[in-house]
Structure 1
């Protein structure tokens, strides 16, 4: 039995799905022990009950105004104080942009080993075994922490969420934030749709084959019908067909959706590193020799500007009749 601390994360006031995956992983690690979640921000109270439904027995709310917008200094100060107070026996947090920035600093502060980008957690004879991809997803390694407490970040869309219900205790935790080196004056958000690309269950991705900024419109329509998000290859971003925030690949985002539709993407190894763990991959390309077909579960040799609208119409019919 372990006391597990889960550092949850919200975006635009809404709890990110990977936080619930981290709580599910915590259920395995705790082995009947106590799971404690921490929610940061002045609007964090409204999703505390959701954390309780997914295993948290106690939720610490840190509501300082300085934490409403992420800065490394402020979050690190807050979490250092919380970890000192809670004294957990394991720590989990999402493998997001914030997690990638914050987790190594927390590990350094407390002298902990960090296992990053975890896709599975199991218990073997009482030891916590983490599984993570290596070599751009071509292989997997299993790791365990031999000294100190287990500390890991969880990759989105890999651990099936388990809801167990139960009552929770909500605790307001006061922290002192001082001597900040960075203060955010204004946040300008680029709107790329309502679905977070890194957590989307369906991703429609375009490459150089979309040919222009307007070429992404059919992909956006298909994504809207399927409730998914639009992504892009490095080539499409370099050609200024879309913003770099949509880039998927070795130097972009890593996605693991249930369905990945690659439109006009040749399948360079750098792009495959960002989507090769998708559950089902559909490739649409005019070139029958395109490398993307080697990793695709289903391939369509054809013009994406003809195929994608046809798929959109067919999906509309299916969804209306279902």
Structure 2
């Protein structure tokens, strides 16, 4: 009897004897277990999109870990999917978090409760391929990134667009940057860059990717504008192969130029407070973007001013 109960416990509340992969082979069960900590058995089912026409890259999967008969236990959920986005998706807002709150690493980024890894350029077909995941806000970021990196290698392998060298999990992920008072005359740490009435700033600098969010106060509703730049080869490759890219960018505030021989992407996303102030003397988006890129030139070694059209 004791043996039967022990076996039942192993089956219901651990992942003993379970499959080694989930989501039709895209995700390693062991890596999902590492993200979904606590007792319980791992299972998976189709996500909200369920089906996709994007061949081997596209998938949508929800992984759950639930413990049967354990008081107080709750179901942990991890949503993993393969999608396509414009190559600069991480800097353009929408359903993506403010890039100033993201810890970037080569070919990806992680924010509280979510992460993504960009697939190699060979996987880009009008839009860049992306492996992304949503987890609990307190999920271990390194484990989530490891899961996504290995997931990206699996789906690119079966799609036949992987690199000769597989994608690697970053050695280090920078901590999230805190918000701080903005310095007069050098907002975002850029000498000579000024913004009207901006009181707070938050910026991330991973080396190849830089982003700064500015605000009139400490709440998201007070956001003024977010400025970003990247020389990450994986991101640049995805941008250049995305539909709508003209050779100089996508539009007047999402551009690519050469800086010390490196293609460099610059972006600006307006916040609600900037939009509200446009009729009250605030600079136009083109003028504000031009001021940002001019101030950023020394930081990125730009040989000539960024062309704004």
- TM value normalised by structure 2: 0.24
Which has the larger share of strand? 2
User: TM-score scaled by structure 1?
Assistant: 0.23
Structure in which a larger fraction of residues adopt helix: 1
